[in-house]
């Protein structure tokens, strides 16, 4: 314990005690009311100077430079002070062996009049009490009470010391220590039996102050001195209480400790340099905690309530059990460091930090029930585990960073909401559902954060300077801006994606090794490199669209959820985006935008191109294991786009890639509404045929079928090539449609090579070119031009050939081999045509058109000798060569000069006959009103056997002398008709009977076509060459005759005319031609008198026979073998007054 009164003064005190040792009784000595010098006998009543054993009562103003007594009482009229003379070191010691009771005043005067007091007993103060030194030296406890607590008027010794051998000093009243008081207890203990101590100026040092008040509270207020020159502080002080309240401007030097809870009501700060304070309990800050000149260090073992301003340099959480935090105001200290080794730090409120470096040394910050927010403004939080209390795990923990704050080496657990500008340095881990409400980014260099749960982005995820790496193990909800460098899907079970906004990060990589990635919405990516490492992206129910704008998607299987395979999977690429090493699996896959790919690229399902499909830069291959519909564009991108398609194709757009392969292992179907313009189309099928269900058009395409078959199905009949060529294929008309036409139209220097075309009727249009071998099976009609492609080429026609166009050579020779008949109606000037059929063949020169190219008749090498005959006689004419060989070679055009029959006598007998004829070939459609049944005509007369076997028009008014007859009537025949052909140089009104060049009796079938007597439709009419307008007239025995309103076109064989298509097709229109209903027009019935007028005469004929049955009678107007009202009402009545308009 420190000695504050000099040794010399104490020696004097001891001598005084010894001098008075023989005194038996202690007296009470009073001063006079006048007072005086303590050491003067005149001062005292009885003139006795007090001894150490005397009690003293001071009634006047007494001064001393040395004195002692037992108990000291200063009465209300008295005062005690020091004097300036007589004491070494200016000390005026007063040794009080007992108590001090002050009612007047002790040492109020200024230096050098201070008084130094050493007291063994208690102090009872009721007035000012301000000695220079007051030292407690008693044995046992000493008590100080003061009823005066006003500044400068109460207990305010300048120096308050303790040098007690035992016991403690007790303040058992409130004290206001003013005027630069120094409390120095030399490491002794001060008990506060009441709860309040005020101090103005001065300091408290080397003391332990313990609360002994009933409340257990200690209230200490340190205030600056009256003049504002000094501030009080504590040094090497321990405060012990249930609660220590620090008020005023509370400054401390080192070794300041509070044992118990602390509450700062005003200001707590260090004194002048780096100072440390330790609070072994809770801390409530309702005021200000700050630095003063140097740094304030706070060590806190208990809970913290932060309700004020907190700006000191260093604060440490040093408890060994859980520590709780309650903040109503931000914490703004520069450092908050957790060194708690055993417990957690538990937040019970929002925590806000301003410019604070938080270091939790890998300890845990737990947010309890009702607490859900952490706000960090500036600086950083490191090495911490932040978690949501278990009972609140369903709620969100809000973490908000501002002012360039960041986290480093942190783990957060629970449902976490990131607000503000959340920045991190790795390692950074989130355990739970992470929601980004504002911004998430790395702090500066490339940093990694791992999310062991779901991630919802409602804000911004981005890079800062360097790269932000995110590893996500749960589901993703993307509703904001996402543009960081690299995000990883790293779960070990299925992960789900739900996007309402595009993902714009540089990289999205799937490293999930066990589960799938499941999409629950449209997925949109902007300039993202997506790498799935061969994992699966599943589009679930209600999700059907993938949008990629820029960069690429690689190494993935993209599929539609099993239960939704009937739905569409839409994929839209733009901004030069592309797929690489991808499989897409769905019943229906729609490709939108500029869909680009790098191989391998596979589609499993029906692919529809709505915009553009192309390779990405170099040669690339895509395989479609399913059907393929193009509604957009398929093209090359600089290099070549290769497509392999195993299913059906619907081509409705622009298709011009380098190479497309038909590679299915079963049949494949084609539907084209637009031309195919790809450079190559190849069939690599091992099984099945290719079936066309529409017209097929190709522009500059090389088509290679590798000897596979192209079948034109019902309703499909045309193949159009512009440029390019078709090779190694078999083109066939579907079996059920062999009666239909197969049209092939070539232009733009297109050609066929090594091809077979099979169909009942094959029409060749455009500039049809070929390289051999070229074979046609069926009736071939040339509507434009047939020629070889370049070198000598041979085409074989296994059937008939009708030429309505041109047959010629191109540079080299065009060779034709024909096994059937020829209808020549155009220009025929190729190098050689060989007839090599194995049955009789006919050459029909339509309208006398000659064959000017050289023609060969081949006897088929039946064996020598060979001798050719014409019209039964041996052929011997300069117009031929080879009359004695197996081939008869024409040296002149095939013309009407050589009409007749040719054959060759061979070693095996006579060859087939080749007949040359000429005239017209017609195909006429007409309907009769009487037997019309709504679509066709009834064959009742034929069914009942009433149609005569010979033509019936040999009577008036027709008087046709033709000998047409049959032995039986074909089953579909309705009746006989008489057909006439009229040639005129003027209009139809001039096509009178006098212009008739030919008549023929023919059958009319139930479909409305005029047919030959054997039922065939290729009606040949032997007439001279027609050079003017040709009209056709049709007569029927009880219908009004009709004539074609327009001349027949002589360009085609056969010459086609359809009366049934419109009333205007008949000369005179509706006056002589009737609308039968259903868009069908026909000849008017009701002419029983053969006069080509429907009138009362016809009715009289009907009336006279009404009610009878009929065989083949003209008054059976509806031709049902009954004469009844139906004839009159249904036929005659509606036509009464009508007459034929055929010119007479």
Confidence at residue 200, expressed as pLDDT on a 0 to 100 scale: 83
Name the pLDDT band for 567 (thresholds 50, 70, 90). Answer: low
Q: Per DSSP, what are the bridge partners of residue 641?
A: 620
Residue 939 and residue 975 in one domain? yes
Span 602-614, pLDDT tens digits: 999 999 999 999 9
pLDDT, one tens digit per residue, over 689-738 is 999 999 999 999 999 999 999 999 988 889 999 999 999 999 998 764 44
Q: How far apart are CA 359 and CA 383, in angstroms?
A: 6
Where a domain ends, among 122, 150, 173? 173
Tell me if 347 sits within 8 A of 371, measured CB to CB.
yes
One domain, residues 841 and 869: no
Taking residues 97-111, report their average pLDDT: 85
Instruction: Tell me whether residue 813 is in a domain.
Output: yes
Domain match, 959 and 988 both? yes
Residue 120 within a domain: yes
Question: Quick one: pLDDT band at residue 630, thresholds 50, 70, 90?
Answer: very high
Higher-scoring residue by pLDDT: 972, 5: 972
pLDDT classification of 349: cutoffs 50, 70, 90: very high
Give mean pLDDT, residues 740-762. 90
Residue 156 lies in a domain: yes
What are the tens digits of pLDDT across the range 904-954? 999 999 999 999 999 999 999 999 999 999 999 999 999 999 999 999 999
Phi, psi of 391 (to 5 degrees): -70, -10
Q: What is the DSSP string of 1044-1094?
A: BSSPPPSSSSSEEEEGGG-GGGBTTGGGTSEEEETTEEEB-B---SSSSB-
If pLDDT is split at 50, 70 and 90, which confidence band does 112 have?
low
- Inside any domain, residue 736: yes
Do residues 712 and 851 share a domain? Answer: yes
Q: What is the pLDDT of residue 130?
A: 87
- On whether both 6 and 85 belong to a single domain, the answer is yes
Beta-ladder partners of 100? 72, 123
pLDDT digits (tens, 9 = 90+) for 431-465: 999 999 999 999 989 999 999 999 999 999 999 98
Same-domain pairing of 717 and 833: yes
Residue 392 has pLDDT above 50, yes or no: no
Kindly indicate the confidence band of residue 113, based on its pLDDT and cuts at 50, 70 and 90: low
Which conformational region is residue 113 in: left (phi greater than 0), alpha (psi within -120 to 50 degrees), or beta?
Answer: alpha
Taking alpha carbons only, the member of 357, 355, 363 closest to residue 338 is 363
Residues 494-520 have a mean pLDDT of: 95
Strand partners, 802: 781, 823
- Domain match, 836 and 906 both: no
Instruction: Sort strands 793-798 and 814-818 into parallel, antiparallel or unpaired.
Output: parallel
Paired sense of beta strands 914-925 and 1019-1021, if any: antiparallel
Residue with tokens 């009609």: 781
* Residues 979 and 1002: beta-carbon distance below 8 Å: yes
For residue 23, pLDDT over 50 is answered with no
Residue 542 has pLDDT above 90, yes or no: no
Note the pLDDT of residue 21.
41
Residue reference for tokens 């509404």: 673
pLDDT cut 90: percent of the chain above it? 82
Lowest mean pLDDT among 63-72, 279-288, 557-566, 988-997: 557-566
Mean confidence (pLDDT) of the chain: 91
Question: Residue 393 has what pLDDT?
Answer: 46
Contacts of 378 (CB under 8 A, 6+ apart): 354, 355, 356, 402, 403, 404, 405
| Domain containing residue 148 | 1-173
Q: Say how far apart CA 1129 and CA 1139 lie, in whole Å.
A: 18
* Band of residue 82 on the pLDDT scale cut at 50, 70, 90: confident
Is residue 115 very low, low, confident or very high in pLDDT (cuts 50, 70, 90)? confident
Check pLDDT > 90 for residue 740.
no
Tell me whether residue 399 is in a domain.
Answer: no
pLDDT over 90 at 881, yes or no: yes
Count of domains forming the chain: 4
Domain final residue pick, 129, 154, 173: 173
Asked if the peptide bond before residue 1118 counts as cis, ω within 30 degrees of 0, the response is no
Write down the pLDDT at residue 13. 46
Mean pLDDT of 999-1009: 98
Q: pLDDT tens across 854-878, in order?
A: 999 999 988 999 999 999 999 999 9
Confirm if 423 and 447 have CB atoms less than 8 A apart. no
Mean pLDDT value of segment 499-509: 96
* pLDDT at residue 1128 tops 60: yes
Judged against a pLDDT cut of 60, whether residue 12 lies above it is answered with no
Looking at the fold, whether 809 and 878 belong to one and the same domain comes out as no
Residues 36 and 109 in one domain: yes
Cis peptide before 957 (omega within 30 of 0): yes
Do 937 and 1043 reside in the same domain of the chain?
yes
1066 shares its domain with 1127: yes
Q: What's the rounded mean pLDDT across residues 515-537? A: 94
Strand partners, 892: none
pLDDT band at 89 (very low <50, low <70, confident <90, very high): low
Residue 1127 domain-assigned? yes
Of 685 and 463, more confident: 463
pLDDT for residue 256 is more than 90: yes
Whether residue 56 lies inside any domain: the answer is yes
Comparison of pLDDT for 1049 and 14, the residue scoring more: 1049
Beta bridge partners of 436: 418, 457
Higher pLDDT, 266 or 154: 266
Among 1020, 1036, 1004, 1002, which Cα is nearest to 1142's?
1036
| Residue 394 pLDDT class (50, 70, 90 cuts) | low
Q: Give domain status of residue 335, yes or no.
A: no
- Does residue 1141 carry a pLDDT above 50? yes
| Of 826, 787, 786, residue with least CA distance to 803 | 826
Say whether 1003 sits in a helix, a strand or coil. strand
Per-residue pLDDT, 1051: 85
Report the pLDDT averaged over residues 814-827: 97
Are 1034 and 1119 members of one domain?
Answer: yes
């Amino acid at each position: 314990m420190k000695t504050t009164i000099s040794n010399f003064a104490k020696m004097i005190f001891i001598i005084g005690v010894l001098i008075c040792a023989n005194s038996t009784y202690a007296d009470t000595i009073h001063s006079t009311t006048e007072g005086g010098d303590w050491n003067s006998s005149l001062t005292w009543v009885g003139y006795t100077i007090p001894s150490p054993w005397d009690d003293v009562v001071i009634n006047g103003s007494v001064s001393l430079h040395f004195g002692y007594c037992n108990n000291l009482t200063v009465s209300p009229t008295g005062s005690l002070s020091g004097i300036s003379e007589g004491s070494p070191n200016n000390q005026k010691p007063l040794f009080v062996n007992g108590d001090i009771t002050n009612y007047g005043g002790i040492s109020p005067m200024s230096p050098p009049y201070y008084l130094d007091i050493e007291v063994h007993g208690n102090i009872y103060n009721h007035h000012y009490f301000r000695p220079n030194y007051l030292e407690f030296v008693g044995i046992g406890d000493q008590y100080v009470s003061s009823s005066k607590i006003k500044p400068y008027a109460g207990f305010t010794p300048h120096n308050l010391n303790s040098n007690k051998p035992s016991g403690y000093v007790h303040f058992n009243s409130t004290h206001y220590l003013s005027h630069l008081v120094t409390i120095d207890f030399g490491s002794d203990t001060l008990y506060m039996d009441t709860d309040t101590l005020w101090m103005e100026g001065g300091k408290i040092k080397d003391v332990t102050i313990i609360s002994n008040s009933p409340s257990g509270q200690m209230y200490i207020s340190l205030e600056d001195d009256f003049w504002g020159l000094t501030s009080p502080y504590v040094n090497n002080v321990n405060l012990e209480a249930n609660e220590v309240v620090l008020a005023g401007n509370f400054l401390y030097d080192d070794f300041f400790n509070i044992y118990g809870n602390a509450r700062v009501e005003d200001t707590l700060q260090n004194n002048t340099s780096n100072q440390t304070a330790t609070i072994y309990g809770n801390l409530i800050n309702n005021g200000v905690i700050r630095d003063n000149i140097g740094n304030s260090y706070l060590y806190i073992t208990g809970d913290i309530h932060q309700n004020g301003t907190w700006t000191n340099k260093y604060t440490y959480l040093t408890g060994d059990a859980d520590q709780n935090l309650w903040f109503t105001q931000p914490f703004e200290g520069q450092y908050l460091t957790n060194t708690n080794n055993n417990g957690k730090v538990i937040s019970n409120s929002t925590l806000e930090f301003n410019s604070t470096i938080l270091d939790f040394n890998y300890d845990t910050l737990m947010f309890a029930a009702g607490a859900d927010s952490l706000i960090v403004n500036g600086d950083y939080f490191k090495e911490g585990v932040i978690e949501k209390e278990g009972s609140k795990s369903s709620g969100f923990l809000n973490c908000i960073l501002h002012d360039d704050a960041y986290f480093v080496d942190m783990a957060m657990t629970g449902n976490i909401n990131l607000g503000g500008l959340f920045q991190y340095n790795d390692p950074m881990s989130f355990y739970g559902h992470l929601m980004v409400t504002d911004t998430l980014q790395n702090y500066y260099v490339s940093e990694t954060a791992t999310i062991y749960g779901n991630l919802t982005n409602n804000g911004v995820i981005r890079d800062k300077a360097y790269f932000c790496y995110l590893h996500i193990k749960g589901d993703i909800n993307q509703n904001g801006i996402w543009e960081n460098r690299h995000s990883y899907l790293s779960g070990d079970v299925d992960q789900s994606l739900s996007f309402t906004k595009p993902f714009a990060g540089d990289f999205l990589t799937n490293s999930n090794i066990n589960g799938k990635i499941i999409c629950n919405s449209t997925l949109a990516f902007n300039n993202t490199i997506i790498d799935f490492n061969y994992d699966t992206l599943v589009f679930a129910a209600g999700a059907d669209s993938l949008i990629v704008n820029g960069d690429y998607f690689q190494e993935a299987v993209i599929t539609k959820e099993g239960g939704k395979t009937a739905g569409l999977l839409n994929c839209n690429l733009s901004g030069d985006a592309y797929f690489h090493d991808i499989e897409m699996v769905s019943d229906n896959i729609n490709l939108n935008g500029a869909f680009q790919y790098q191989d391998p690229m596979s589609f499993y399902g029906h692919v529809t191109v709505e915009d553009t499909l192309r390779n990405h830069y170099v040669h690339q291959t895509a395989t479609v294991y399913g059907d393929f519909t193009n509604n957009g564009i398929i093209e090359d991108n600089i290099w070549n786009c290769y497509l392999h398609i195993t299913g059906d194709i619907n081509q409705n757009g622009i298709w011009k890639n380098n190479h497309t392969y038909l590679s299915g292992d079963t049949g494949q179907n084609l539907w084209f509404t637009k031309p195919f313009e790809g450079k190559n189309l190849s069939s690599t099928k091992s099984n099945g045929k290719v079936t066309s269900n529409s017209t097929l058009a190709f522009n500059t395409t090389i088509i290679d079928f590798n000897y596979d078959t192209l079948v034109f199905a019902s309703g499909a009949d045309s193949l159009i090539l512009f440029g390019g060529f078709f090779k190694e294929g078999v083109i066939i008309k579907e079996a059920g449609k062999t009666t239909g036409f197969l049209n092939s139209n070539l232009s733009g220097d297109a050609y066929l090579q090594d091809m077979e075309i099979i169909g009942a009727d094959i029409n060749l249009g455009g500039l049809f070119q070929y390289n051999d071998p070229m074979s046609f099976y069926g009736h071939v009609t040339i509507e434009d031009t047939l020629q070889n492609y370049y070198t000598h080429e041979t085409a074989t026609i296994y059937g008939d050939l009708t030429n309505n166009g041109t047959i010629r050579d191109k540079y080299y020779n065009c060779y034709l081999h024909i096994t059937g008949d020829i209808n020549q109606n155009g220009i025929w000037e190729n190098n050689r045509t060989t007839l090599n059929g194995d049955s009789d063949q006919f050459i029909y020169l339509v309208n006398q058109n000659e064959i000017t190219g050289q023609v060969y008749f081949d006897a088929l090498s039946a064996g020598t000798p060979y001798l050719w005959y014409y019209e039964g006689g041996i052929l011997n004419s300069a117009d031929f060569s080879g009359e004695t060989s197996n081939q008869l070679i024409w040296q002149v055009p095939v013309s009407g000069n050589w009409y007749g029959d040719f054959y060759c006598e061979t070693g095996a007998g006579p060859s087939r006959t080749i007949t040359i004829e000429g005239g017209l070939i017609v195909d006429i459609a007409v309907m009769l009103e009487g037997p019309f049944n709504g679509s066709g005509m009834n064959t009742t007369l034929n069914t009942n056997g009433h149609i005569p076997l010979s033509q019936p028009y040999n009577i008036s008014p027709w008087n046709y002398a033709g000998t047409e007859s049959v032995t039986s009537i074909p089953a579909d025949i309705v009746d006989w008709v008489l057909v006439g052909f009229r040639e005129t140089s003027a209009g139809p009104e001039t096509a009178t009977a006098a212009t008739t060049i030919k008549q023929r009796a023919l059958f009319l079938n139930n479909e409305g076509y005029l047919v030959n007597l054997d039922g065939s439709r290729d009606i040949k009419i032997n007439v001279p060459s027609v050079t003017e307008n040709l009209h056709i007239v049709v007569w029927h025995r009880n219908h009004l005759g009709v004539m074609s309103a327009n001349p027949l076109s002589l360009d085609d064989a056969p010459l086609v005319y359809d009366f049934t298509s419109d009333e205007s097709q008949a000369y005179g229109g509706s006056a002589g031609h009737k609308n039968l209903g259903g868009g069908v027009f026909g000849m008017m019935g009701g002419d029983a008198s053969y006069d080509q007028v429907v009138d009362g005469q016809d009715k009289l004929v009907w009336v006279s026979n009404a009610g009878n049955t009929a065989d083949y009678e003209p008054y059976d107007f509806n031709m049902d073998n009954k004469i009844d009202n139906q004839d009159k009402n249904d036929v005659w009545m509606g036509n009464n007054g009508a007459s034929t308009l055929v010119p007479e």
